[in-house]
Amino acid sequence: MRRLLPLILLAKIVAFSGIAEATEPEIAATGDYQKLCGVCHLPDGKGIPGVYPPLNERLGL
User: DSSP character for 52?
Assistant: B
Separation of alpha carbons 42 and 32, rounded Å: 13
**Domain containing 28: what range?**
23-61
Residue 35 domain-assigned (yes or no): yes
Is the residue at 2 inside a domain? no
Reported residue count of the chain is: 61
**How confident is the prediction along the chain (61 residues), in pLDDT tens digits per residue?**
567 777 777 777 766 665 555 467 777 778 888 888 888 999 899 999 999 999 888 777 6
Q: Is residue 44 part of a domain?
A: yes
Neighbour count for residue 44 (Cβ, 10 Å): 11
Q: Is residue 27 in some structural domain? A: yes
If one counts the domains in the chain, the total is 1
Kindly state whether residue 28 falls inside one of the protein's structural domains: yes
The whole-model pTM stands at 0.49
Alpha-carbon span 23 to 10, nearest angstrom:
23
